[in-house]
Amino acid sequence: MKQDKLIISKKRFNSRLIVGTGKYKSMLECAKAIKISGAEIVTVAVRRVNITNKKKPLLMDFIDPKRITYLPNTAGCFNSNEALRTLRLAREIGGWKLVKLEVLGDKKNLFPEMIETLNSTEILTKEGFKVMVYCNDDPLMAKRLENAGAEAIMPLAAPIGSGLGILNKVNIKIIRNQTKLPLIIDAGLGQASDATIAMELGCDGVLVNTAIAKAKKPFEMAKAFRNAVIAGRQSFLSGRIEKRVMGSPSSPNKGII
């Protein structure tokens, strides 16, 4: 396991858990939860999290960008123009080129608007961005994003913030089998076991925000997700037994008295 690293844009990470920085009661609580989670990448909603106004608490004062990789995202963007403007601003502010693209289609369900997402991916990659893309769990669209130059595919497990867990394991498995890109489950996880399932499906990592930030005990939940991702990855690498319709005795029949 020591040699088993998550590699994104040629950078190696020990942790396969990515954590969001929104929805916490305070930046202090956010920073502590992230530390406990062991995450080495955090998503930052450029339009919502303060990273520029020095008169107010800055995220950088609580989470050191020299130690934790910031992943600027376009949360709250509902068209390509808004998303492109947001990520270009992020590049100007902090020089960030590794980004998370998220173009939403509606304000109620927060599903990704895939046509705008695909178009934005093509534009951003041509501008030199390394784009990790939030998308639906459609294998055909995932392949198009890969062909467009995406750095990682990030299909939803369920609607953002819903906590429903992985609703379509079959499609996630198909996407896993067809791509060599990092596959990160994004959105909809509700508890630690959801992360274990994602890892056992062969995903390279999971992104969690609401499940930790809004838990009754966020620090304990951060620890639970940390352990769940490790356990799920170990289980996947170990190779599960074949599923059988009939039972099979645990003890050998040979030598029975």
Catalytic residue among 54, 56, 100, 216: 100
Measured distance CA(88)–CA(65) in Å, rounded: 18
Q: Is 100 a catalytic residue?
A: yes
Reference 192, options 140, 150, 152, 229; nearest CA is 229
Phi-psi region of 184 (alpha: psi -120 to 50; beta: other; left: phi over 0): beta
Tokens linked to 11 = 């950078």
DSSP state letters, 148-194: TT-SEEEE-SSSTT-----S-HHHHHHHHHH--S-BEEES---SHHH
Q: What is the number of other CB atoms lying within 10 angstroms of the CB of residue 115?
A: 12
DSSP state letters, 210-225: HHHHTSSSHHHHHHHH
Q: Which amino acids are annotated catalytic?
A: 100
